[in-house]
Amino acid sequence: MKLRKIAARAFGVVSIAVATIVGTSGIASAAPAPAAGLWGLNGGQIPVVGQHAWCNGVVDMYFDTDPTRPAHGTITLVSRGMNGADPDWSANPKCKVDFTIIWYDGVFPFHHTVKVPTEFGVEPGETVTTEINPGSGLIYLTAGATYIDTDTWGFVPQYSYPASGYFLIP
């Protein structure tokens, strides 16, 4: 009988301690932060060849979540600077790339696609941001530039090695 009383008191103390810790670290103190997850081989780096004058460069992809907005995420594409090779590049130093962002639900094998048009110049640090709504839970996220237009199924002169990874969405 004494053992039951000790176990019940210990359980009560532990549950009060857990409730206090969880209650004091609530959503009000949360801020957008990188999503909890695991990037693939190339991290968030996307080497790309664009649509204008053989333009090329590297674009970094960041994926952030905000606990105050569950089931949402923010993708930010940041250019490290683009280069070109033709006289056309000298006349217009802008690299047009249409990124395709795809995420797969971790529970059901359904996927969703968003097309993000970008135009980066020579200077590093140019950014393009887009919001996605993958839902809460585990997702597989991939982003890159493909040579097939997802709207018309036509050829687009661009290509990249995709960045991908698994992430937990609050």
- Summarised one tens digit per residue, pLDDT across range 106-158 is 766 778 889 999 999 999 999 999 999 998 889 999 999 999 887 888 999 99
Q: Give Cα 27 to chain centroid, integer Å.
A: 22
Across 10-14, 48-52, 103-107, 115-119, least confident range = 10-14
Could you tell me which of 103, 106, 99, 115 has the C-alpha nearest to residue 60? 99
Please state the rounded mean pLDDT for residues 91-114.
88
Sign of the alpha-carbon torsion through 129, 133, 136, 137: negative
Give residue for tokens 């590093």.
124
Instruction: Check whether 6 has a pLDDT greater than 70.
Output: no
| CA–CA distance, 72 with 4 (Å, rounded to integer) | 45
> Going by C-beta distance under 8 Å and a sequence separation of 6 or more, which residues neighbour residue 107?
137, 138
Helices (H) and strands (E) in the chain, counts: 2, 11
Residue 10 confidence (pLDDT): 53
Q: Measure the CA–CA gap between 82 and 54, rounded to whole angstroms.
A: 10
Q: Determine the pLDDT at residue 157.
A: 92
Which of 4-18, 22-36, 131-145: highest mean pLDDT? 131-145
Please list the residues that pair with 117 across neighbouring strands.
98
List the CATH code of the domain at 31-169: 2.60.40.10
Give me the pLDDT at residue 3, please: 65
The total number of residues written for the chain in this structure: 170
